[in-house]
Amino acid sequence: MGALGIQGHIAKGDFVLITAASSSVGIAAIEIAKAEGAISIATTRTSKKKAELISLGADHVIATEEEDLVARVRGITAGKGARIVFDPVAGPGLEALAQAAAPSGIIFEYGALSMAPTPFPLFSALRKHLTIKGYTLFEWSAIRRSSPRRSSMSWSGSSLAHSSRGLTGRFRWIRLLKRTGIWSRTRRSVRSSSRCETSVCNHLNRVRWLRFALSPNGSTGIQWFDMSTIAAHLSEEALDLIFRKARTFYAWKPEPVSDATLHQIYDLYKFGPTSFNTSPARIVFVRTPEAKARLLPALMPLNVEKARTAPVTAIIAYDTEFYEKLPKLVPHMDARGFFAGNAPLIQETAFRNGTLQGAYFIIAARAVGLDCGPMSGFDAAKVNAEFFPDGKWKTNFVCNLGHGDASNQHPRAPRLDFEEACTVL
């Protein structure tokens, strides 16, 4: 919201180029563009995700490994280019984004997924008078603390019209939240009084691209919210969702799990720490009846129905050749050399860190609103033979995903007390 709305002044009819659009932030950007009447141009590497991105609201989708990005953008925009570019990739591809941008356009760089050097597109920037800007989640709270001028723009009353092009009402952003469906996730915490003092940030904390609060001093409107006061810990509701009230489910409601949600899970859990950034976990999402028919014979009889009825069953595996990816994952040193040819170290590292990532996977799935049913009752040799016949990946455990049916769930089992499980020295 800060980049597209506050700094980019997104407006009806704008062309907005959104790269890596299948990520959670990319999907959010598509929703904002759609709500504002802008025209979103989403990019993804291959055409496999085109239909899904269109279903999520993208007006156009470009498969960058199959199509010429610049030519397609020029065709879509009738030669005008994209006024706003929202990019988490950077790297050499920035030059193409600059060529695809409109004169006087703005390019937001909010990530470095490429990991490659990012040359500055000088001639395109000069010729088109482009703004190329780095953007981070916490930028606006930092600006507020360091700049009295910016701090005075308080997002209340008439200052709203000054802060963003085309603002006509003091609750424009609340209306935007309602149109995108985000407001429904906060309505329980917001009192209907015109002098509302309840912060909606507690419930929007998981919507990482948006931070604001209703005025705590009783005035109507929206004001700056210092994110440093909420960034230190999760809300009680979030802790309940991930840990305290989360359960292992054995029965499932007939609600599908989309590819976009699976991407959200990965985009969260991949950031969990692993030694040397080895990231050895590999996931196979088993969803179709044909794929389930391959998996079910390897499960214990007690687990067959659980997996058969689950919308998705994830095989959490680890890659015994994870070290081949280390030149990309650890570009600043020769980490591959630590592992190549050392079979005991490879096995220990792959299993330990793959298991860690399996735990992150469960936390991430719960964080995006899914229930989990991890299982270890299966024949690993059969799963490996069926899904990983080359022997490079090894099964660790399987985990059902979906929206759990709690109608026949037994009470939560006890847990050990701190004194039984922990020692402080």
- Does residue 85 have a pLDDT over 50? yes
Query: Helix, strand, coil proportions of the chain in percent (round to 5)?
Result: 45, 15, 40
In this prediction, residue 223 has a pLDDT band, given cuts at 50, 70 and 90, of very low
Look at 141 and 276; give whichever has higher pLDDT: 276
pLDDT of residue 1: 58
Contact between residue 285 and residue 314 where contact means Cβ atoms under 8 Å apart:
yes
Q: For 45-73, what is each residue's pLDDT tens digit? A: 999 999 999 999 999 999 999 999 999 99
- Rounded Cα gap, residues 234 and 245, in angstroms: 15
For range 139-151, the mean pLDDT: 48
Q: Which residue has the higher pLDDT, 234 or 54?
A: 54
Q: What is the pLDDT of residue 206?
A: 35
The per-residue pLDDT for 219 is 37
Backbone φ, ψ for residue 252 (5° rounding): -135, 145
Classify 347 as helix, strand or coil: helix
Mean pLDDT of all residues in 164-184:
44
The pLDDT, as a whole number, for residue 373 is: 97
Give me 66's structure tokens: 């199959």
Read off the pLDDT band of 325 (50, 70, 90): very high
Concatenated DSSP letters for 161-226? HHHSTT--STTHHHHHHHHHT-GGGTGGG--S-TT----SHHHHTTSTT---EE-TTS-SSEE---
pLDDT for res 155: 33
List, for residues 261-300, the tens digit of each pLDDT value: 999 999 999 999 999 999 999 999 999 999 999 999 999 9
Mean pLDDT for the chain overall: 82
pLDDT band at 236 (very low <50, low <70, confident <90, very high): confident
pLDDT tens per residue across span 102-139: 999 999 999 888 878 899 999 999 999 999 999 876 56
Q: How confident is the model at residue 195 (pLDDT cuts 50, 70, 90)?
A: very low
Going from N- to C-terminal start, the domains of the chain cover 2-135, 141-229, 242-402
- Mean pLDDT on 70-83: 96
Angle between helices 259-269 and 343-367 (to 10 degrees): 120
**Global pTM?**
0.51
Whether 44 has a pLDDT exceeding 90, the answer reads yes
Residue-wise pLDDT for 339-380, tens only, equals: 999 999 999 999 999 999 999 999 999 999 999 999 999 999
Q: Is the pLDDT of residue 90 over 60?
A: yes
Residue 412, pLDDT > 60, answer yes
Work out the number of other CB atoms within 10 angstroms of the CB of residue 177.
23
Q: Which helix (H) or strand (E) holds 66?
A: none
pLDDT band at residue 382 using 50, 70 and 90 as cut-offs? very high
Task: Find the angle CA(247)-CA(252)-CA(257) to the nearest 5 degrees.
Answer: 100
Residue 166: is its pLDDT beyond 80?
no
In this prediction, residue 225 carries a pLDDT of: 39
Give the rounded percent of residues in the chain with a pLDDT score beyond 70: 77
Query: Which CATH architecture is the domain 242-402 placed in?
Result: 3-Layer(aba) Sandwich (3.40)
- Say whether pLDDT at 33 is over 70: yes
**CA 399, 400, 401, 405: dihedral to nearest 10 degrees?**
-140
pLDDT band at 305 (very low <50, low <70, confident <90, very high): very high
> Same CATH topology for 2-135 and 242-402?
no
pLDDT of residue 139: 62
Helix axes 24-35, 172-180, angle to 10 degrees: 120
Confidence (pLDDT) at 24:
84
CATH of domain 2-135: 3.40.50.720
* 8-state DSSP, 240: I
| CA dihedral angle for residue 293, residue 295, residue 298, residue 301, rounded to 10 degrees | -70
Cβ proximity of 10 and 33 under 8 Å? yes
Cα→Cα distances 267→21, 203, 242, 264, 360, Å: 12, 21, 17, 5, 11
What confidence score (pLDDT) does residue 140 get?
Answer: 54
Q: Is the pLDDT of residue 177 over 60?
A: no
Q: Could you give the strand order of the β-sheet that contains 281-286, starting from the edge strand earlier in sequence? A: 281-286, 312-319, 393-402, 371-375
Can you tell me the mean pLDDT for 216-236? 48
